[in-house]
Structure 1
């Protein structure tokens, strides 16, 4: 049973992100580099926030439970702020790199658009964030022990997996919106991204039941996905085109030829397919 829980939670948490990486990033070396660099920037933000939290823990002595809980909340909020600061720094770095690529190009056009960079960078942030939040939980799911035997939630593992999935996709959407806000100098968009990041991170502190944090997180995820879709140039016509039979046939043949050669499936990738298609065509 523990093995089933492990693989089930792993596929829930990382399956969509892995599919997006395989279908939209893996074949382009430049996108792979941007994704890895984005993950590295997220790691830097985690390192600095962890250092601040560790110093605060040592300074207080670790005796008062309420004080330690307050420091934990402070650490999470500080980490969120630092992540967004590093997202902005990464945007500045990519913007300079994009200008350099355009200058070196014969037609003076960069081989990758800002929307594509935002999507790939956001996915890099999300994958690394999900990995650090879920790896230890997956390790515990292999046993020994039984979840819920002392009154804890028996849905701890699966709710953690769904929360990791939501945060991973949210980072992708936030990356698109954040970069768009920087490009168009819409600072209220950046403030909104930071505020929602703080809200989602604080949901687990506001609600003692793990399942109670999922509905608002997924509502925010859907809203952010819609906003990211339209901010990257999407429209209702794009949605109708993706859902058309011709579009389904094209996507299906492209995906299956890349993975299985001459074998064809009747289903296509559904997770945030619309926004990916728009970013691909930007």
Structure 2
């Protein structure tokens, strides 16, 4: 049972980010390098082909997405690795009298934070490029709010923390979509072209 819980919680937390990685980043090795070392933008431009601008490195939107996803995966791994290590056994359903939903709540919270870091990266880069201080403040206060909501988890009030975190995640996803240049008309056009 503990092994199933380990894999279940691990896949809840890291399944969607792994899918995002496979669908959007894996096809270009430069993106993997950016994902691993997001701070090395200047160095990557120096080692790219001489005289040719690499559109992956110069595209701020791609850089913000890859850096945000990379930071989200790393922070998620650090926050969940000890919980998953305890979940593997022997025979732990709750830790030291904690709720039996502790592992599941930790996995869903980690997934939300990975997604939020990805969205915050996109919004933050765009806000800096456009000098939009309202979006910068949104990222800062949103991060503070979501982190504060996790304090409910200490008293096992998962219903008070997880739904608001996911509402904030959906709102932030919408803002990131808009910051990336998305619109309802783009979604509608994509759906129509898929049908044809």
TM-score (normalizing by structure 1): 0.62
Per-residue deviation, residues 43-101 of structure 1 (Å, max 9, x unmatched): xxxxxxxxxxxxxxxxxxxxxxxxxxxxxxxxxxxxxxxxxxxxxxx4xx64x568879
Matched with 1:8 is 8
Per-residue deviation, residues 1-40 of structure 1 (Å, max 9, x unmatched): 11111111111000010011111101101111110013xx
Q: Kindly tell me: are residues 206 and 230 of structure 1, through their superposed partners in 2, closer, same or farther at Cα, counting changes over 3 Å? A: same
Matched with 2:114 is 168
Partner Cα separation in structure 2 for residue 214 and residue 123 of structure 1: 21
Counterpart check, 1:201 vs 2:156: no
Per-residue deviation, residues 260-279 of structure 1 (Å, max 9, x unmatched): xxxxxxxxxxxxxxxxxxxx
Q: Is the 8 A contact 2:112 2:169 kept in 1?
A: yes
Note the C-alpha offset of 1:212.
2.2
Matched with 1:73 is none
Aligned residues: 192
Consecutive unaligned residues of structure 1, counting only runs of 5 or more, are 39-89, 250-282
Matched with 2:28 is 28
Q: Is the 8 A contact 2:2 2:93 kept in 1?
A: no
Per-residue deviation, residues 170-206 of structure 1 (Å, max 9, x unmatched): 0000000000011011122112211111111121224
Matched with 1:223 is 171
Counterpart pick for 1:111 among 40, 55, 59:
55
TM-score (normalizing by structure 2): 0.87
Q: Is the 8 A contact 1:2 1:142 kept in 2?
A: yes
Counterpart pick for 2:184 among 236, 247, 254:
236
Partner Cα separation in structure 2 for residue 11 and residue 141 of structure 1: 13
Counterpart check, 1:247 vs 2:175: no
Q: Is the 8 A contact 1:35 1:123 kept in 2?
A: yes
Matched with 1:58 is none
The structure whose Rg is larger is: 1
Per-residue deviation, residues 198-229 of structure 1 (Å, max 9, x unmatched): 11112122452234210111011000000000
Matched with 2:76 is 130
Q: Is the 8 A contact 1:101 1:111 kept in 2?
A: no
Partner Cα separation in structure 1 for residue 19 and residue 195 of structure 2: 17
Counterpart check, 1:184 vs 2:130: yes
Q: Is the 8 A contact 2:67 2:118 kept in 1?
A: yes
